[in-house]
Chain A
Amino acid sequence: MGRKRSSLIPGVDKRLLIKDAVKVMPDLTRRRFIATGASLGALTLLTGCDVLDSDSAEQMLAQVSKFNDAVQSWIFNPNTLAPTFPESAITKPFPFNAYYDLDDAPEIDGKDWKLEVRGLVDNKKSWTLDELYKLPQVKQITRHVCVEGWSAIGSWTGTPLRDFLGLIGADTRARYVWFQCADKDGYNSPLDMASALHPQTQMTFRFADEILPRAYGFPMKIRVPTKLGFKNPKYVISMEVTNEYKGGYWEDQGYNSFSGN
C-alpha cells in the first residue's frame, strides 16, 4: 500500500485528480447500478437453477444437516423432560402412520418373538416377551410429533431404556443404540446415546393401558418423546450398542439424523 501511494504523481492534489477523472467518465451511479444489477441477475440464475439441482447443492445441504445434528446435540438437555398431559388430552383415535398400509404391518407372534441384543454389552442374551414384561414399567402421556408436522398425544407404558441398558451392562460411553425392526424393507434407526439414556426414553409394551396393538408396533416400540416420530421405531427385533453410525431407513433418504424435539 505504502509503495503504491508514493508512486502517485508528486505535486498533484489527489482529490482534484479524481474529480477531473470522474468528469470524463460516464454517469458513475448508472454504471454501478447496472453492475450491481448484473451480479444480482447472476445470483438469481445461480440459485434459480445451477445450485438448486446440482450435486454441490446436495452436498452443501448434507453438510449443513450434519452441522444441525451437532447443534441439536448441543441444545439437547438430558434433564429437560417432554411435557406430559392428562388422560383427557389423549388423541382418539391415535393415528396409524407408516410407509405402508396397516394391512402390511408386521404380524408378530409374541410367543416366538425375541429381542436380540448385540454390540458393546456384557450380556448378549436374547429376551423373550415374558421376560421383558417382568421388568418394572412406567407410564407416560406425551406428544408424538411427526416429521410431517402433525402431532398426537398418546399414552405409553414400558421399561425405561436406560434401566434396560444398565441391566444388560451396556457401554453407555458408546455413541449409538441402533434398532432393527420387522417392518417390510427392514426398518432401522440409530439413536444417540444421550437420547437413549433420557429418563423418558422407553421400551414400550402397552398403549393406552392395553397390550401394544399391531398398529403401534407390537410387541415392542421404542418411545422417544425427545425425537420426531420416525426415530421411535416399532416392531423392534434387535438393538445394538455401537460406536458406528449405521444409518437408518429415513435418515439415509435425507431426513436429519438427530431430529430432536
Chain B
Amino acid sequence: MNPLSQQRKIIIIGSMLLIALACVLKLFSLQVVNNRYKEAAERNAIREVTITPPRGLIYDRNDSLLVYNEAAYDLMVIPKNVQPFDTMDLCQSIDITKEELCQKLEKARTYSPLLPSIIKQQMKKEDYGVLQEKMHKFPGFFVQNRILRSYPVPIAAHILGYIGEVTDQQLTSDNYYQLGDYIGISGIEKSYEEELRGKKGKRMVLVDVNNREQGPYKDGKADVAAVAGQNLWSTLDLKLQEYGEKLLQGKKGSIVAIEPATGEILCIVSMPSYDPNLLVGKDRGKNYAALNQDLDNTPLFNRALKACYPPGSTFKLANGLIAQQEGVINRYTYYSCGGGYSYGGHRLKCHSHAGSDLVDAVRCSCNAYFCRAFYNTISNNKFHSIQEGYQTWKDHINKLGFGQKFNTDLPYESKGIIPSVEYFDKRYNGHWNGNSVISMAIGQGEVGSTPLQMANLVAIIANRGFYYKPHVVKAIGSKNNPNMRYSERMESGISRPYFDPIIDGMKLVISSGTGRLAQVEGVEMAGKTGTAQNPHGADHSVFACFAPVDQPKIAIFVLVENGGWGGVLAARIASLMTEMYLFREVKQTEKEQAVLSHYITYAKARHAN
C-alpha cells in the first residue's frame, strides 16, 4: 500500500468516526441531557380519564329510599369502525327511523370519524336488554352507561331538588367540575352537593396518535380510585310526606311537621307539586319549561318555604308569649271584649263575648284580648317612644324565628315579613302608635310568615322555650353519623313558665274550642286554629298543633289556601297527619274522606299576554 493510500484510508476512517461522533453527541444531548422529551412523550400517549363516582343515595328517617341512581344507556358510535350492518335491525332495536339513523351517523362522521358520538340517548334498562344481545352485529357501535337520579316514590320534589349539568359560571368558580358534569341545582341535592358527589377518580390510559384508547398505563398503577358519594339520611318521614301530599291533593297549601326535640322536619308538603322523575334525564329541559309555564298551579313554587302568608290567629300565640315576657299580662290578666277592639274610630271585630283571661283568650281566639296585649306591649310606659317599644317586640318576634331565614339546608327560604321601625316611620311620617300596627296583633296586616316559620313557632311552644333550626338531613355517610350542623339549641327569649297558660289554652282549643276536629283518640294535643284573611279571595284555612302535650313528638302547621275556616279543613288535616305519624296508620276514615273529597276551585292566573 503506498503512503498516499494509507493516508487517505486514515482520513476516511477518521472522518467517518468524527461524523459518527457528531451523531452520538446529538443523541447524548437528546437522550441524556434534555428531559423535555420524556414529558412530551407522556403528554402524547397518556390521557387522564375521569371516573365519576356514583352519587350518594338519600333515605328517609326510617331507611326507606327516597332517591337512588338508575343506570341509563347511551348508544354510541365511532364512525370509522362502523362496518356494513343490518340497519333495519338496529333501527327496530332502538326504535328510530332509518332516516334518523342515517342523519345521526352522518352528523357523527362530520364531528369526528374517530371519536365517539351519541346515537341514542338514555335508553332504559329494558330497551338496552334487547339491544345488548345483538351488539356484536353492529361493529363500531358500543353502549356507554350513565347514571340518572330516580325516585321510587314521587314525593318531596321541592326538598330533594334535582341535578343538572354545570353552568359555565360554576365551571370557572369551582375547578372540581368539568364540562358535562352534574351538580345539585336545588334542594338537598344542592345543599349537600359536596357530600353527595363523592370524589372523582382518574384512570390513566394510553392513547395512540389518533386518540384512541389502547389500554391502561402502567397496568393501572397510577390510577386513583373514585370515592363514592356519601349517602344521606333525611329527617323526612316518607310515609308522612306521602300522606300529606295525598291529603293536599287538589288544593293549594302547605303542611310542615317538625320533631320539636331536634328541629328535624318530618314532612314538608307544598302543593301543587310535581313528580321529581320529570326533572331527570333527557326530557328535563322540556319538562322544566312546562312546569315553569304552569302559571295556574306554579308547581315549582315551594309554598312551605317561599310563600309569605298572613299567619292569622296562630300568630296570637307568639304575641301572648311576648306580652307575658314583657310583663304586660299574666295568666290571670283579664281584658273585656264586648265584641271587638275599638281604636280611633275603627273597630277590630270579635265574636260576641264579655271578656277573658289569657287561657280563655287563646281558647276562643279573642281578637280584643290580643290587640290590647299587643298595644300595651309596644306602647308600654317604660319605653320612651313607640319606636323603642316596637323594636323590643320585633326583637322578640325575630327570636321566635320570624322575619328571618333559618339558613339551614333548605332551599330558597323567604324571610317572611316583619316590618322594621324605619318602615313605619316612613309610612306614617314618624307619627304612629300601637294602634297603627294593631293588625299585627292577630297575625294580619303587615306581618307575613312562611309555613315553616309557623311550624317552628309551634315547636318552640311544644319545647316550652327553645328550638333547633329546622333542617332536612339527619345523618351523613352512615346513620350513626348525625348531621351536627344544626345541633345548636336556639333560645326563644321567652321564659318557660309563660308557655303554660298558652299551652293550657291550646289544649282547650282541641278539647272544647275551635279545633275540636283536630282531635286524635288517645292523644293529648294542643292546637290553635287560624283563619287568615286574604285580600285575593276566600280565607286561608290555618291550623297549628303539637302532640302529645307532655312529651311532644310532632309539631304541625297546616295552611290551605282559600280553604275557609281553620277549624275545619286545616284542623282535619292536622289531625290525620298527627295520627299517621304517631300510630303509623289512620283510622279516622270519615275525616280522611272529608279531606280527600274537599276540592277547592282556584281562580285562573291572569296571563301576561
A and B: bona fide binding partners: no
Chain B contacts to A: CB under 8 angstroms: none
